[in-house]
Amino acid sequence: MDAEKTGLKPAVLGPLVAKFSGIYLEGKWQWPRQFTPLTHYSFLLTDPRADELDVQELARLGDDLQIKLFGEGDDEAGKVGLLLFEGSAEAVQAFAALDDAAVSAALLDPSLLPPGGRLSRVEAAPNRTGDEPALSPGAPVGPIWVTQQAALADIAEAAAKHPMPSLDGVQGIYFTLRSVFVGDVVSSTPGSLRTHLSLVEGDEHMPADPQAFDADCLAVAARMLAGPGPHSMLYLPICYSNIVRASQRAAYEEMLATLPPAAKGQLAAAVYDVPRDPAFTALATVRASLLKYVTNIDLRTQDPGFEVEKLAPNAVTSVTLVLPSGDQRARLAVLRRFAERLGLYRKKQIWAAVTNVRNRVELEACIAAHVPFVTGSGVCRLQTAPVGGRMQPPEALPLLAA
């Protein structure tokens, strides 16, 4: 398409499309599956565990992205298009270099495609009416190319008038002793960011503006609670350094007061960036401020030696260790140090948990160490709806899509 017709130059339009699509794929197409940007408008998606990519899942991704960008409208001009290309690595690279006109021509005349490649298109959104997604001309089985060509003008127009839509969601909290998700940690990512925000995926996904992030997550929780029940426990991000300051505490309490009082039993506070040894008076302030609105309080720390022994019994509901960045051996060493102190948590009647669990090795290490609760991308990927209450055997983790 002609980018100039959108009112934005190609140098502006391309990065805009790539940024939002990349944020979306980070939440939906995660390790061990990988995606690689080929151009601003194309991504190579691979899944080492599968001989063929699931066309229905891909169609759902396109449909979900359509809803996040443009809502439920039926205007074909604003639809997200999903094209699938199979072939050798050389053919994929050659296809990605084609401009819009060449791709459109190749859809009508396959002989115009790079040698050794085949192009297909998902013709319909999946399963809104129970129908299977249709493919034309043939079923793809290899590398894929995802583009939003038909929607570029709408994206540019929306970006010019309004902020990009936020990427809101939850990630399940898994109870290893019963193989069930018992709640969800809420997240919200402004569309302007380069990567998604999450309380359960390490420093690179933490917010630069904690108060704005916490406020956005409270709004997401309110919308979820307004939907049909029953509701599992929702964990609301609360920045420790903010809630203990009188200058910011009033704003937090004002935000929390907007949540329905009847939902208190389904609400918990995930208090992050907690120091190794929180002061007694600071912790008392946290409890007094939060327990008017939530039932449970979780303290999140990056220190495996968090001094739980100094807390009163039942001072909080749980303490969660955030595994650090670094190589696998270093992360497992921190996990072992934390696990050695689990007896202290039991004595204090405080649950222990581990987050930022990224893969099968770390998940199995947590289970072997009898860590009761785990979260992270190796446990549950970003979801659009809560998964609390869902049974899931550990060998079926991570949960990719509810």
**pLDDT tens-digit profile of 206-221?**
999 999 999 999 999 9
Rounded to two decimals, what is the model's pTM? Answer: 0.66
pLDDT at position 137 over 70: no
**If you average pLDDT over every residue of the chain, what do you get?**
79
Query: Between 7 and 359, where is the model more confident?
Result: 359
Order across the sheet with 135-136: list the strands: 34-39, 42-46, 144-146, 82-86, 118-122, 135-136
pLDDT score for 10: 59
Distance separating alpha carbons of residues 112 and 105, to the nearest angstrom: 7
Asked if pLDDT for residue 377 goes beyond 60, the answer is yes
Give the C-alpha separation, 197 to 295, whole Å.
24
> 280-290 and 246-256 helices cross at what angle (nearest 10)?
30
Position with higher pLDDT, 5 vs 20: 20
Average pLDDT over residues 144-168: 48
Please give the structure tokens belonging to residue 137.
């001309």
Sign of CA dihedral 283, 238, 376, 174: positive
Q: What number is the average pLDDT over the span 18-37?
A: 72
What mean pLDDT do residues 162-169 have? 72
pLDDT greater than 70 at residue 121: no
Higher pLDDT, 254 or 87: 254
* pLDDT of amino acid 221: 94
* Residue 235 pLDDT greater than 80, yes or no: yes
Share of the chain above pLDDT 90, in %: 49
Please choose, from the candidates 128, 113, 121, 124, the residue with its C-alpha nearest in 3D space to the C-alpha of residue 147. 121
pLDDT of residue 253: 93
Per-residue pLDDT at 41: 65
Rounded to an integer, the average pLDDT of 128-152 is: 37
Comparing 352 with 399, which gets the higher pLDDT? 352
Mean pLDDT value across residues 130-152: 37
How confident is the model over 104-126, as a mean pLDDT?
68
Residue 253's CB is within 10 A of a number of other CB atoms, namely: 14
pLDDT tens by residue, 236-277? 999 999 999 998 999 999 999 999 999 999 999 999 999 989
What contacts 127, CB < 8 A, 6 or more positions away? 56, 60, 133
Among 95-109, 143-157, 319-333, 373-387, name the one with the lowest average pLDDT: 143-157
pLDDT of residue 58: 72
